[in-house]
Chains A and B, each alone.
Chain A
Amino acid sequence: QQQVKQSPQSLIVQKGGIPIINCAYENTAFDYFPWYQQFPGKGPALLIAIRPDVSEKKEGRFTISFNKSAKQFSLHIMDSQPGDSATYFCAAPYSGGGADGLTFGKGTHLIIQP
């Protein structure tokens, strides 16, 4: 199973700042890169995803940037708010295994300070 390397592990940003979370992947079964947001005690929820026929996707204050040649993608949160404080996971499809499996990064614990 492939690895997805996510950084940083934790991040503290002042309100209004732009936290950036990075992920690097190995080979994938197909091109689809989602980000999940998880609040304490809850299951992860799909936040935004990109299929790299484009290099960037924006939904509201959340933007994914994708660099296929470098096998990297990142999440930017514009005008961050305390309510964005959560754990964020990136993921990538892995080949083999017989199912549409996603391998997840280890997560980034984000705190937005008021």
Chain B
Amino acid sequence: SQTIHQWPATLVQPVGSPLSLECTVEGTSNPNLYWYRQAAGRGLQLLFYSVGIGQISSEVPQNLSASRPQDRQFILSSKKLLLSDSGFYLCAYGTVNDYGYTFGSGTRLTVV
């Protein structure tokens, strides 16, 4: 069966520190992978998506970057966190023949 793992669940980081959030998918190959950020009252904002290894597209300019070093691994990073990077980060995957998304359980990031 297909599963998606996202960690850590919660993270408190000081301003200016680096960030690395990891997402892995099991039970499927060549999925489309997505990073979303959710802020209160603002819904789900698409940050990055990837259709294959090393292929990253950014939807909004920001202080974050993404990488896909392996087919089923998606990493969200920052070199220096800002207060405005606080939020709930969600990884999701969807395969070519599957119109729906499956979301991970999310990471609550608080930048202090």
Residues of A bordering B, CB below 8 Å:
1, 6, 9, 32, 34, 36, 41-46, 49, 51, 89, 93, 97-107
A32-B99, A41-B106 known; A101+B44 contact, CB < 8 A: no
Q: Pick the contact of B43 from A34, A41, A51, A107 — CB < 8 Å?
A: A107
Q: Pick the contact of A44 from B51, B94, B96, B103 — CB < 8 Å?
A: B103
Q: Once bound together, how far apart are the Cα atoms of A103 and B90, in whole Å?
A: 14
Q: Once bound together, how far apart are the Cα atoms of A89 and B42, in whole Å?
A: 11
A99-B32, A99-B49, A99-B51 known; A104+B104 contact, CB < 8 A: no
Q: Once bound together, how far apart are the Cα atoms of A73 and B42, in whole Å?
A: 20
Q: Once bound together, how far apart are the Cα atoms of A89 and B59, in whole Å?
A: 20
A89-B43, A99-B57, A106-B42 known; A43+B51 contact, CB < 8 A: no
Q: Once bound together, how far apart are the Cα atoms of A6 and B44, in whole Å?
A: 12
> Shortest distance in angstroms between A17's beta carbon and chain B's nearest beta carbon?
24
The binding surface of chain B is classed by DSSP as strand
Q: Are A105 and B43 in contact (CB under 8 A)?
A: yes
Size of the B side of the interface (Cβ < 8 Å), in residues, is 26
> Which residues of chain A come closer than 8 Å to B105, judged between CB atoms?
42-43
The answer, yes or no, to whether B102 is at the interface (CB within 8 Å) is yes
Q: Once bound together, how far apart are the Cα atoms of A51 and B57, in whole Å?
A: 27
> Which residues of chain A come closer than 8 Å to B90, judged between CB atoms?
43-44
Q: Are B41 and A106 in contact (CB under 8 A)?
A: yes
A32-B99, A102-B101 known; A42+B106 contact, CB < 8 A: yes
Q: Once bound together, how far apart are the Cα atoms of A100 and B98, in whole Å?
A: 9
Q: Once bound together, how far apart are the Cα atoms of A99 and B51, in whole Å?
A: 7
